[in-house]
Amino acid sequence: MTKTISIHSFRGGTGKSNLTANIAALIALKGNRVGIIDTDIQSPGIHVLFALDEQDVEYTLNDYLWGYCNVEKTAYDVSPQIIKELKQNGVESNNLGAIYLIPSSIKAGEIAQILSEGYDVEMLKDGFDKLIERLQLDYLLIDTHPGLNEETLVSIGLSDLAIIIMRPDYQDYQGTAVTIEVAQELEVPSMFLIVNKVLDDFDFEALKEEVKVKYKIPVAGVLPLSNDIVRLASHSLFCLRFPDHPFTKEVEKIVQCIE
């Protein structure tokens, strides 16, 4: 049975899209068929991590929401990029399932249009179902827009699991509390937190326990603020480029919590 997972943060800059992409890759490396849908329509970007060039994109999520195409036409098989990265690092890709990316439009005019005119949110819900069926997905990961808006509420409400990402920052603490409350009201079956971009001099275990007690939900991982990630600058998937890095090892633990 397909597991639908929304990955969300109340504020931007938490590393949500980067984590979504890396989690998806590690899940696919276990032989699963994974879909990633970029519902961050106002500020899309996850396609960069999969080296999906704008010129190679004929249809986007925007086109589907406006009724210009079937939703499966917006799905791009980015598995070859994963295979390429694995080969560059001398890793076999025999267990790779598949990754399909559904990007949102990066064109300024189309972003402005959807912000001003909106779209039928019911089509978003219907699109999730059709993607799962027609691509035979084991997992559908939804990269949401930060904050709380209509499409975010729909995405979270339809999920089997909500992953909420936060930083150890007081502005994040309050917003995360609101997000958790909303997810509970939507009766999401399962939910956990990830604390990202934590400085090395923090006590990670103490921070994990503090967050767990404060929000009363599980904390699946505490991830370091890494200069290596900053240097990579979203040029590729970190967990594939640095499979033995402490960040990658922690993401692997998060994947175990998802399965």
More confident residue, 43 or 2: 2
pLDDT at residue number 210: 95
Is residue 78 within 8 Å of 101, Cβ to Cβ? yes
pLDDT at residue number 107: 87
Euclidean distance between CA atoms 211 and 199, whole angstroms:
16
Residue 209 corresponds to which tokens in the numbers above? 């326990």
Total structural domains in the chain? 1
- Report the 10 Å Cβ neighbour count for 43: 13
pLDDT at residue number 1: 87
pLDDT at residue number 212: 96
**What is the Cα gyration radius of the chain?**
17
Is residue 39 within 8 Å of 142, Cβ to Cβ? yes
Euclidean distance between CA atoms 160 and 19, whole angstroms:
18
Residues facing residue 194 across a β-bridge: 165, 221
Residue 27 corresponds to which tokens in the numbers above? 């899940």
Residue of 173, 128, 117, 116 whose CA lies nearest to 155: 128
pLDDT tens figures, 25-38: 999 999 999 999 99
pLDDT tens figures, 178-228: 999 999 999 999 999 999 999 999 999 999 999 999 999 999 999 999 999
pLDDT-derived band at 8, boundaries 50, 70, 90: very high
Euclidean distance between CA atoms 22 and 18, whole angstroms:
6
Alpha-carbon dihedral 227, 8, 119, 132, rounded to 10 degrees: 100
Euclidean distance between CA atoms 193 and 175, whole angstroms:
13
pLDDT tens figures, 45-70: 899 999 998 888 999 999 999 999 99
Per-residue pLDDT, averaged over 98-126, amounts to 87
Is residue 191 within 8 Å of 75, Cβ to Cβ? no
Alpha-carbon dihedral 229, 60, 39, 242, rounded to 10 degrees: -20
> CB-based contacts of 49: which residues, under 8 Å, 6+ apart?
17, 18, 21, 234, 236, 237
Residue 223's domain is classified under what CATH number?
A: 3.40.50.300
118-122 long-range contacts (CB < 8 A, ≥24 apart) are: 119/65, 119/66, 120/65, 121/150, 121/151, 121/154
Per-residue pLDDT, averaged over 95-106, amounts to 94
**pLDDT surpassing 90 at residue 147:** no
- Average predicted confidence (pLDDT) for the chain: 92
**pLDDT surpassing 80 at residue 114:** no
Per-residue pLDDT, averaged over 132-140, amounts to 97
**pLDDT surpassing 90 at residue 141:** yes
* Residue 60, domain extent: 3-258
Phi-psi region of 234 (alpha: psi -120 to 50; beta: other; left: phi over 0): left
